[in-house]
Structure 1
Amino acid sequence: MTSDCCCTWFTNICWSFLLLLGVLCCTDSSVREGTAQVKERSLDRQTELNQVVFVIQSQRSAHHTRWAEQHRQDLLHQATSLHQDPPVVLLLHNLSDYEGNWSILPIMPYLSATFGKNCSWIFFIEEVTVVKIPRLLQVLSHFDAGKEWFLGSPLHDDESTIIHHYAFFDDPSSFKYPDFAAGWGLSCPLLNRLAERVNSESPKSDFTIDLKHEIALYIWHEGRGSTLTPVPEFCAEVLESGVSDHCATVVDKLPTCGEPVKQEEIFVAVKTCTKFHTDRVPVVKQTWARDAAFLEYYSDSTDPSIPTIDLGVPNTERGHCGKTFAILKHFFSNDIPECQWLVIVDDDTLISLPRLRRLLSCYNPKEPVCLGERYGYGLIQNGYSYITGGGGMVLSRAAVRRILSGGCRCYSDDAPDDMVLGMCLSSLRVHITHSPLFHQARPDDYPKKFLAREKHISFHKHWNVDPVDVYKRWLMDTVEEGREAVNRPGQIKEEL
């Protein structure tokens, strides 16, 4: 072997060794970083039940109150079976008279002041969350409760979405936020720090649109706070699907309450305008309109081919408050059958009326029921909740009567109708009832994992989708599916 060959061979060996050393160093560094969290989880400090405060994200309507109370009793019964003192189980709607507590941040100071020094964990659950207490305590024992932890079952966006203001548009899946239905937890040190922020800082956004995403953003604090730690034992699978024994939580199906309300009890009002008579209205007729016994199209012009009704309110590019209040008044006219429910939708709303009829079996139309997807405005500072209009606003006859008799009105025809109604209902102390089955946006705007769990009632917008395909895929039932939903085991029967 020549000297040149020897030098080349030796040089290659040296470079190979240095490269291997670098890879090993980098790998060792990443392993150390990657296992740090695992080591935190492996800490075994037995969590006692009296160290956990449960908060059920409950609502004020009779149906939801009974449902939340059933879950509270289940937790207390489990504690008795384990021969432990009963845990603190709070119903969110009972913490104060303030309607905006559902947005979580307003109650942080109260939770911190009341439990922050004596608890280890605040564990939030929804009305559909089923908790296995022994397994939950095992899971929580893996985390050092003296540190800041934000625990949950992770969701992420598949694409940037308007409901999240296109956050993380360059990599939407990088940001994780909790699936509330699977339960989510805060260690008390994190709770206390969040409470201090709520007391000392003004919110950066006045709107509450998708609470689970906004809570995660607030806790993340633009990289200065905590990110969500995924907990595989917080399971988003439905209870009846045969979930694994490793789960500390599972998700129950939304209950039905007996036979669906009759078609003739629902009146549907579709808001449209002249420029959409040949575009959006045909989609309504091709998809869900056939399931309505009573439906009318309200426009700024009369078109006998549809037909449309002109209520004398000029079209506006946004807001539509004048048109909506005209519909409310028209609902009580002699021109309309005396229906128990009024459903107001946009002409680009896609809705399943059979599923809505099943849902409405849980509510009493003789009470002021206002049902849909709940948004909020200024909730940290004594704001109000409202039903976002695109997903559909469902009002009982008693609620419409209360609105009209309460003196509510539009400050202009183009004011945002859903928000004006929200302000009105807040002033009248009529509560908004939220359903996770109504949606202001398209299916593409929500995580697939979130959508897979239930059969949804509405979506909104035709942008960049085939609305007929969306309806067929997401909203149209077969006869068998409808029968199965009505006869689902474990129904909650409400006496009206």
Structure 2
Amino acid sequence: MGWASGWPMDMVVPIMANDCGGPHRGHQGWSPHCGQQIGVVPTVANNCGGPHHGDEAGVARALFQRVRVLCWVMTGPTTLETKARHVRATWARHCNVAIFMSSQPAPTFPAVGLPVGEGRHQLYWKTIRAFQYIHQHHLEEADWFLKADDDTFLVVANLRWLLAPYPPESPLYFGKRFKPFVGQGYMSGGAGYVLSKEALKRLVAALATGSCGHSSPVEDLALGQCLEKVGVGAGDSRDTGGRETFHPFPPETHLTHKFSPNFWYRSYCYYPVVEVRSVCVSSPPRPGPLSLHPDGP
């Protein structure tokens, strides 16, 4: 998370703070519905030739109320202090509800203890149990439900811009779209992905009835297979310039590297890889990057 402090300031739209309410639902999650507004973030010159929008803060406040996002962050006992705490102090503040999912509760951190083990081989079950928990305890508190890792950086205001045109009653999910193994593709787990309320309902119902078997231990692939089976569409999360907004690699990789023709990433991407030609960040309605993942997919 060390690189997060260098995030370009002119891309972060001010939204609401939650420093006045304390933990939400005890140690299970927390919500910023307290109405305290963050001051406008100072901007830096973007040298992109376009003006900044003076009403971004007002739009962001409106979207905060209209596009309610629950962010659940996958973490673990060994990374609560080194990673999850920094997520909680930075981008998770901008979610309507933020919940941290671990394999055991923690006395000094608001983490939910799910009945699962730790390790990569447990990621699938941890994800399933987390979505089931949220469906049972927090379904009516949000319209969209984001899964992210504790080493992901997310610009929540940009996520709301992406989701605003879509009703949460539509069976949709968005993320970094890969194309192998699933007809409509599936969303990479490393970059994070977000389900509509209807998508979450269908997922949990399919797991309860056995309509979706546990087809793969690979979390993002198995989830994608299940969602396709129950009629949840894979949404297009690219911006108006055709650029990706969910990124599975660290920012320096996407900004400075050119992926070789034989690199696996090219064959996995659902859409053609667009090489970066500029580091300029657009203002709405082009939302710019949503997520970055320092450890890769």
- TM-score under structure 2 normalisation? 0.62
Kept in 2, the 8 Å contact 1:261–1:361? The answer is no
After superposition, the Cα gap between the structure-2 partners of 1:343 and 1:444, relative to the gap in structure 1 and judged at 3 Å, is same
- What SS class does the counterpart of residue 282 from structure 1 fall into? helix
Is 1:422 the counterpart of 2:236? The answer is: no
Structure 1 pair 450/386, CA: closer, same or farther in 2 (3 Å)?
Answer: farther
Amino acid at match of 1:396: S
- Give distance in 2, aligned partners of 1:433 and 1:451: 25
Please give the alpha-carbon distance, in whole angstroms, between the structure 2 residues aligned to 1:338 and 1:444.
36
Contact persistence 1:388–1:418 (CA under 8 A) = yes
- Displacement of 1:347 in angstroms is 0.7
In 2, are the aligned partners of 1:342 and 1:397 still within 8 Å (CA)? yes
The 5-angstrom pairing of residues 127-146 of structure 1 reads none
Superposed displacement of residue 411, structure 1 = 4.6
Structure 1 residues 440 and 319: CA distance shift in structure 2, 3 A = farther
CA contact (8 A) 1:264 1:294 kept: no
Corresponding pairs, count: 208
1:410 correspondence with 2:214 = yes
Which residues in structure 2 correspond to 1:349-360 (within 5 Å)? 349-360=152-163
CA distance in 2, matches of 1:275, 1:324: 18
* Counterparts in 2 of 1:264 and 1:375: CA distance versus 1, 3 Å: closer
Q: Does 1:397 align with 2:197?
A: yes
Q: Does 1:330 align with 2:163?
A: no
Q: Quote the offset at 1:446 in angstroms.
A: 1.3
Q: Distance in 2 between matches of 1:331 and 1:263?
A: 20
Structure 2: 5+ residue stretches without partners: 1-47, 52-58, 238-243, 256-275, 283-287
Aligned positions of 1:329-348 closer than 5 A: 329-334=132-137, 337-348=140-151
Q: What CA distance in whole angstroms lies between the structure 1 residues aligned with 2:121 and 2:82?
A: 18
The 5 Å alignment of 1:222-241 reads none
SS state at 1:262 partner: helix
Query: Is the CA contact (8 Å cut-off) linking 1:366 and 1:397 kept in structure 2?
Result: yes
Q: 1:335 to 1:401 in 2, by over 3 A?
A: closer
For CA contacts below 8 A with separation 6 or more, give which structure has more relative contact order: 2
Q: Tell me, yes or no, if structure 1 residue 285 matches structure 2 residue 88.
A: yes
SS in 2 for 1:304: coil
Residue identity in the other structure for 2:204: L
What are the ranges of 5 or more consecutive residues in structure 1 without an aligned counterpart?
1-237, 243-255, 464-496
Alpha carbons 1:262, 1:357 under 8 Å: kept: no
TM-score between both structures, scaled by the size of structure 1: 0.38
Deviations 1:59-82 (A, max 9, x none): xxxxxxxxxxxxxxxxxxxxxxxx
The one-letter code sitting in structure 1 at the alignment partner of 2:250 is R
Q: CA deviation at 1:290?
A: 1.7
Whole-Å separation in 1 of the counterparts to 2:181 and 2:218? 16
Over alpha carbons, which structure has the higher Rg? Answer: 1
Structure 2: distance between partners of 1:343 and 1:426: 18
CA distance in 1, matches of 2:278, 2:176: 15
**Which is richer in helix?**
1
Where in structure 2 are the equivalents of 1:198-347 lying within 5 Å? 259-262=62-65, 265-318=68-121, 320-334=123-137, 337-347=140-150
Mapped pair 1:433 → 2:261:
no
* 3-state secondary structure, aligned to 1:446: helix
Partner secondary structure for residue 355 of structure 1: helix
Indicate how the Cα distance of structure 1 residues 309 and 374 shifts in structure 2: closer, same or farther if over 3 A, else same: same
Pairing 1:386–2:186 present: yes
Query: C-alpha distance in 2, partners of 1:395/1:285?
Result: 21
* 1:462–1:424 Cα change, 3 Å: closer
State the AA in 1 paired with 2:91: W
Aligned partners of 1:350 and 1:459 also within 8 Å: yes
RMSD, aligned CA? 2.9
Q: Deviations over 1:110-166 (max 9, x none)?
A: xxxxxxxxxxxxxxxxxxxxxxxxxxxxxxxxxxxxxxxxxxxxxxxxxxxxxxxxx
Q: What one-letter code is carried by the residue in structure 2 that aligns with 1:363? A: Y
CA distance in structure 2 between the aligned counterparts of 1:365 and 1:304, rounded to whole angstroms: 35
